[in-house]
Structure 1
Amino acid sequence: MIPARVPALDPAARRALADTDAVVLTGLPNSPASLPVAAARLFGTSLRELFPHRTRTSVDGGVVGLHADSFDVVVDVGGRQVRRRHPDEDHVLISLAAAAPEGGLSFVLDAHEFTDSLDAELMDFLTGTDVDLYGRWAQTRGLPAAPRVARHVEYTRTGRRITRRSDGATALHRDPAADRVEALLARFDTEVGRVQRTLPRFGLEEGDVLVLDNYRCWHGRDAHVGSRTVHVQTIRTDEA
């Protein structure tokens, strides 16, 4: 999909996000402070959790493949456990702070539609097999030691579908079907790579904020030359 571009203060921005689960907001200051402003404008009183923003700068960066933003990070702050990321963040806001001189175009995929188009074996795997979502990142600081067990396609208790995409997914420890799980994960990666090559690309202007339903939309960007900087913030709404 190519998200509509809508002025951030226009009521049409909410409608665009509701219709397609993706929108590009324009007209906000080029600052990380615009991310919580955009979240408040779009979600109002349904906004429940706002996770710390993060700034990412890449130089001569390679392709960032299709993914849904999610992570499981809990840190100790003054003896209190504080969650800095959540596996079920339901929206992501990405602001382009500095565009690369060349490349870095974005792409977005309707993950529900894509996974529904896969063959029966893969779809049964995605909906019916538990994996460790972040098992490949087990040594990452701040990542809880307990495996995060889930399926790629699940539903919230209110019926909202989650279609996950993480390159940290692996078979559960001592899963007797581990070889089959890893083989299907590899085949899933192949299918994602295939569709990624076919997606239309679109550019962001500096200061634009790309807002996505993180349960439905996967996103990525092409390789680029030179330096590129984005601000990213994930949130949870009451629908999560």
Structure 2
Amino acid sequence: MTGVAVVPDRLAAAGPAARDRLAETGAVVLTGLPPHPDSLAQVAAALLGSTLRELYPHRTRRSLDGGVIDLHADSFDIVVDIGGTPVRRRHPDEDYVLVQLVTPAPSGGDSFVLDAHAFTDALPTNLRTFLAGTDVDLYGRWAGIRGLPATPRVGRHIEYTRTGRRITRRADGALPLHRDPDEEYVASMLARFDEEVGRAQSVLPRFRLYSGDVLVLDNYRCWHGRDPHTGERVTHIQTLRTDQAG
């Protein structure tokens, strides 16, 4: 997996070095932080500064004897009604994600990261063409989840923002568009894409997070996941958008 695997540097504090390394590789691990959700907002402000546009509510994930979490980019489309006012709690084009380990699992739970731009650029030509040229329903498998809009979210796995920033998406919710005349072809290419991602995931180097560590990811460029674990594992997760998003 030369050229596509990412093992993030471990740095002691958010500052110029962390910012530069994040820009170079798309991922960094910040150490020595209190295992508290406030650390996520502090890291976001220190790394991204005045480019921050919107922080979405942090979420705490607890898993007991958890299975593998496959390679993915964080994104979701949730708008809720609070007192009669629509409030966005997640966004399909979140461009950074911060994951803080609070409670390490007694065994397992190591992390892995992939440079999705480099990975998809190395795929066979017809699969690359599909990812960049075919619209899919990005959250079709998740239809019916409360808060998820009923209108399909149509997009491509590889797209560009209006300022030219590349987005390489990866989620387990993608389906062919409703009544797409090429449905069979689209479904077969999505399955082939899953197979390619699975092969890459199996050989990626693993790295371990410790309590308080924050894994910071360029969510447009890097996919991440973790291995199965025994016992309890707790993380805080926060996604956000900068002025370069969307």
Which range, TM-score by smaller chain?
A: over 0.9
Structure 2 match to 1:238: 243
Distance 1:166 1:41 in 2: 28
- Specify which of 209, 226, 231 is matched with residue 226 of structure 1: 231
Q: Of the candidates 127, 147, 155, which is equivalent to residue 122 of structure 1?
A: 127
Q: Which of 23, 36, 45 lines up with 2:41 in the alignment?
A: 36
Instruction: Tell me the equivalent position of 1:68.
Output: 73
Instruction: Provide the rounded CA distance (Å) in 1 between the counterparts of 2:73 and 2:15.
Output: 27
1:183 to 188, 210, 219: 188
TM-score relative to the length of structure 1:
0.99
Query: In the alignment, is the contact (CA less than 8 A) between 2:15 and 2:47 conserved in 1?
Result: no
Cα deviation 1:46-89 (Å, max 9, x = unaligned) = 00000000000010001000000000000000101110000000
Partner of 2:3: none
Q: Hey, which bits of structure 1, 4+ residues long, moved more than 4 A?
A: none
Distance 1:183 1:99 in 2: 38
- Counterpart position of 2:52: 47
CA distance in 2, matches of 1:74, 1:166: 19
How has the CA–CA distance of structure 1 residues 179 and 48 changed in structure 2, closer, same or farther, with 3 Å as cutoff? Answer: same
Q: In structure 2, which of residues 96, 105, 111 is the aligned counterpart of residue 100 of structure 1?
A: 105
- Structure 2 residue 11 is matched with structure 1 residue 6: yes
Aligned counterpart in structure 1 of residue 154 of structure 2, from 126, 149, 157? 149
CA distance in 2, matches of 1:75, 1:102: 37
Tell me how far apart the structure 2 counterparts of residues 216 and 17 of structure 1 sit (CA, whole Å): 11
Paired AA for residue 67 in structure 1:
H
Q: Distance in 2 between matches of 1:18 and 1:173?
A: 38
Conservation of the 8 A alpha-carbon contact between 2:112 and 2:224: yes
**SS at structure 2 position matched to 1:33:** helix
Structure 2 Cα separation of the partners of residues 5 and 13 of structure 1: 9
Deviates more, 1:17-26 or 1:87-96: 17-26
Q: Give 2:165's aligned residue.
A: 160
Instruction: Indicate which of 60, 85, 89 corresponds to 1:80.
Output: 85
The alpha carbon displacement at 1:110 in A equals 0.2
Amino acid in structure 2 at the alignment position of 1:236: R
Other structure's SS at 2:148 match: coil
1:200 corresponds to which residue? 205
Give secondary structure in 1 for the equivalent of 2:152.
coil
Distance 1:9 1:91, change over 3 A: closer
AA aligned opposite 1:165: R
On the 8 A contact 2:114/2:223 being kept in 1, the answer is yes
CA distance in 2, matches of 1:76, 1:27: 38
Kindly state the Cα deviation for residue 200 of structure 1 after the two structures are TM-superposed: 0.3
Q: TM-score, length-normalised on structure 2?
A: 0.96
2: distance between equivalents of 1:205 and 1:8?
15
Shift of 1:28: 1.3
Give the number of equivalent residue pairs. 240
Kept in 1: contact 2:15–2:46 (CA 8 A): no
Q: Which runs of 5+ in 1 are unaligned?
A: none
The one of 56, 64, 71 equivalent to 2:61 is: 56
Structure 1 residue 102: Cα displacement: 0.2
In 1, distance between residues paired with 2:83 and 2:73? Answer: 31
Matched position secondary structure for 2:193: helix
Deviation sequence 1:160-188 (CA, Å, 0-9, x none): 00000010000000101011101110010
Unaligned runs of 5+ in 2: 1-5
SS in 2 for 1:35: helix
